Structure 1
């Protein structure tokens, strides 16, 4: 209408056209003062309601009753879809005012048009046809707009479901996600097997050498972030529709990760920022989301999307929310399949159980290591058959490297938890011995953890001290570690003797190696001799070298046996002296006889897998 003015004053909304309002419609405590003819021309429902009021008015006039004009034209619309704001837009449409349709408002306007019965049969180019055309031509053409409309449908149930708006949006999202290019073509990644970058993608460099962990995770598809606004029930419907259309597993997995990070507090920094601006989901909703994510994660062992940090975040959340044991076990198995990619900070998970006294969840780490070893056994069984068929990929060939990395990780973890006063010796030993012997090149890292444990638990019995020290293989200690252990007064006497013995063996082997090198250098002038003569001489030199080495070793053994007997006699004398004196200590006595034997060394400790000397670190919670 020309010359009309539309606006609100307080809880009332007025349309001034030069004529007084003859209809008052109330929606959510907002009163709309309107005119009946524009409304009746577009809405069948309002036409019937106003006609009924007019009929009642006529009957009351015939009965000569006094009536108030306002009461005759006062209509209340309960449970109006979209609320007062959407009714205002529908009222403007009835007055011929141009309204803007958006992906956020079109579903509510479609439901309002259905509620008001604004059909084509009642008026041409009515609101139902306008909104349906916008949904078909604009909303359902891309994932982002479909997601916005789908989100708006959550407050319009069950009418949006009955009208099919929700299902059409779900189908549109799943269909367009399946039709989108895969990761490689979407982001310009190489897809040719001859491209060096493609070889890196498969885990092997251009020189044919295996490169573990060099494949970067694919970037997130644009619609991953769009779906994070949906509520969990609606999101689950979208995921189910995608699975029904056989969408790529990595795409579903990427969407799940993005949704979980945005909805579960603590999984990412962005989720913490969102949590400050929006109310947090309840524990029940978070637990349901957690189980949904775990159930839909792919079972592939080398997923490039699921990082160990994300999995450890899920595991911590599962422990906090008291999720079912099956959910926690599924995450632990997933972590175990890629444990070599974890960091020490990942393993340091607090213990959330009231039944466990330790600061960190040692039992959980022990289970994860067990799952990792199960995967190693499965791989060892697969490799021979796959090698025969020529189908071994890079992940199978790198098991030894992964095992060494996990051993170094476990040694660091043991050093961190060693200072926990509630950590039992049996639990410490079980975790230290969980890995096979060939997992550690050197036991220096394990020795450092053991030394820290003995330092933090001075009240251990002699039997417990020997058990803890028994996890260290003295033959796999470097000379620097042996030097430190030989003067370590926290070690039992038996361990010190073993260290001294194997230290002497290492020294003698080093001397024997020097002699062999000298013999090899002296044999160079004989290179001009005949091949047969050289062969005979080499056999003779090898025999003489072996005999000489055996003689040296026998002398060393005799010398070591004498030293051990001397140590035993010295220990017996010290025990008797202590019993008589009563005030001396074992530590002072042990340091005394080490000085008598001339054992004075610098205190240095080596890293667990390198021969370089490093200074001992204090654990972070010491």
Structure 2
């Protein structure tokens, strides 16, 4: 009799009431007949009768004949499943009521095979009964197949000899790769139910409900309960059956989250998913195996998960090939990474830096190599994107912004050497940065955290950014930044003036266009009137233009003050030199030391250079003032 219900399918065997009782480590039959056979299984003694066992088991028949002249107990320590399985076998031999289900069918199948309970010994023997139930009930149900497969891991290598685990894996792979709505109750548990047009039956009665479409990840949690050897075989078979790469990667991700604690730093596992953390050796093996199973296709696994796997692999000192593969996978989709996930520390004792900058550099190299190989980005395409004003950034531009943010985060590390900082910053192509504001921000933080850098090192660092690609706000900040070299400040001021001049020209062009259109509109509107008219929009536009001109005048005034301050500093250097000359004359020094002479010549050259730059800057400012005055006279407020 077979009952296939929602909880677990079962089959009833035997009809007699239970006639066994346990006392300590012994089992006794309560039929009233004295026992004539003792079987020892593990630490349990079974006091039984010969005939029921002889009629069902070929092995016991052989052992009983061999020990007919002895009164010793028959030892069956190697029976699969131990004493619990042998207890069920004994009940079957005595015809006692026995329930066969997916939890015990595997152990009974192995035990019956070991005890040689074949059809040649007795018709309808235990091997045949377990095979019927396994093939006709268990393998047809997802839930029962999962339960049976979980018990197979306790009986290796017996499971391989009878191919029970293989049959379960084949059944599960078929069900996972097919429409789940085609199967029975065990798979409907993963689907929501709705009533209109119902066709689902329960005990032969229509419930008025029908299953809705199931999600493709409905089986993830179930298979994650398998031991990894069985799980690996199942996933490998699913891949060979052509299941979508994203689905395979999703299952691997779920499995990794369950058994690798490092992947769940910022989230709590759902109830029922918590398991004891495996050992470090087991976790290292799991990371390496998951890396080998992950599809190579770009984007099948999230960058956050891949970075978590990489962090775990580095901590656990996984194989170099595993770490390299994960870096390549992340590099292929680096534009999808979050800055927070890139900030994992250096775990090597030989490295002094706080963050693993070398790893990020390798991932960036992989991204750039892939981008170049696929022809995804060129300087022209980036420029076109910026001119069009697209709201969505190209991948190369997104990565450049990400790296600039990463540089700003690692810059405060005092152990981060200048060459390593420069190496990562220079790895991003110039065309990938529409603006260098992010890079300037990172450089400024690095200069603040490393005040001992020489002037030459500061200038070398500042060469990474292009002053022409700084926004007006960044230029304003840089012009007042005491940490920047003087040459860089002068260069920034020069390009800021160019930006102001361009802005003024743009305002004038817009103003002229507005004046022309306003005159045209007013001429049309006032053509029938005797007097002139002044539309309110013209007054508002004049006010806006006046505000813009006032701001530009104020900015030019600030630049003049900065130039005056720089000139005063140069004059102070000159007064210091003349004071030294007068002192030397008073003390009677007629000959100057060569070193002092060389130093003065150097100072003089520096002064001349700085004065020349200041004069050039003054000329730019003067010309800009003239333009502003001319504009003001042409457009009175």
**TM-score normalised by the chain length of structure 2:** 0.70
* Pairing 1:349–2:337 present: no
Match of 1:522 in 2: 515
Match of 1:330 in 2: 325
Selected match of 2:367 from 369, 372, 377: 372
Selected match of 1:298 from 295, 298, 319: 295
Alignment of 1:413-492 (within 5 A): 413-492=406-485
Q: Deviations over 1:303-331 (max 9, x none)?
A: 3xx11110001111221222222222221
Match of 1:261 in 2: 257
Q: Deviations over 1:356-383 (max 9, x none)?
A: 2111110111111222222322343699
Rounded to whole Å, the distance in 2 between the matches of 1:227 and 1:448 is 48
Deviation at 1:570, TM superposition (A): 3.0
Match of 1:18 in 2: 32
Deviation at 1:174, TM superposition (A): 2.5
Rounded to whole Å, the distance in 2 between the matches of 1:442 and 1:220 is 43
Q: Secondary structure, in 3 states, of the residue corresponding to 1:117? A: coil
Q: Secondary structure, in 3 states, of the residue corresponding to 2:28? A: strand
Selected match of 2:61 from 31, 34, 47: 47
Match of 2:549 in 1: none
Selected match of 1:236 from 207, 229, 232: 232
Rounded to whole Å, the distance in 1 between the matches of 2:124 and 2:94 is 13
* Pairing 1:287–2:284 present: yes
Q: Secondary structure, in 3 states, of the residue corresponding to 2:40? A: strand
Rounded to whole Å, the distance in 1 between the matches of 2:577 and 2:272 is 67
Structure 1 residue ranges without an equivalent (≥5): 58-71, 189-217, 384-396, 529-555, 582-592, 598-622
Distance 1:326 1:263, change over 3 A: same
Q: Deviations over 1:543-590 (max 9, x none)?
A: xxxxxxxxxxxxx99x99998798477347349759999xxxxxxxxx
Q: Which has the larger radius of gyration?
A: 2
Deviation at 1:511, TM superposition (A): 1.9
Greater displacement, 327-336 / 432-441 = 432-441
Distance 1:415 1:272, change over 3 A: farther
Match of 1:88 in 2: 87
Q: Deviations over 1:410-432 (max 9, x none)?
A: 22211111111110111112222
Deviation at 1:168, TM superposition (A): 1.6
Match of 2:316 in 1: 321
Deviation at 1:442, TM superposition (A): 2.6
Q: Secondary structure, in 3 states, of the residue corresponding to 2:365? A: helix
Aligned 8 A contact 1:170 1:237 in 2 = yes
Match of 2:132 in 1: 133
| Number of positions where the alignment pairs a residue of Structure 1 with one of Structure 2 | 493
Aligned 8 A contact 2:310 2:327 in 1 = yes
Distance 1:38 1:449, change over 3 A: same
Rounded to whole Å, the distance in 2 between the matches of 1:3 and 1:434 is 81
The alignment's C-alpha RMSD in Å is 3.6
Aligned 8 A contact 2:411 2:445 in 1 = yes
Structure 2 residue ranges without an equivalent (≥5): 1-14, 182-187, 192-213, 379-389, 522-554, 581-610, 616-637
Distance 1:326 1:3, change over 3 A: closer
Distance 1:500 1:46, change over 3 A: same
Aligned 8 A contact 1:3 1:17 in 2 = no
Distance 1:52 1:410, change over 3 A: same
Match of 2:20 in 1: 6
Distance 1:20 1:522, change over 3 A: same
Deviation at 1:459, TM superposition (A): 1.2
Match of 1:111 in 2: 110
Match of 1:193 in 2: none
Rounded to whole Å, the distance in 2 between the matches of 1:279 and 1:565 is 68
Q: Secondary structure, in 3 states, of the residue corresponding to 2:177? A: helix
Rounded to whole Å, the distance in 2 between the matches of 1:222 and 1:85 is 34
Deviation at 1:32, TM superposition (A): 1.7
Rounded to whole Å, the distance in 2 between the matches of 1:123 and 1:398 is 79
Aligned 8 A contact 1:415 1:450 in 2 = yes
Aligned 8 A contact 2:26 2:45 in 1 = yes
Match of 1:584 in 2: none
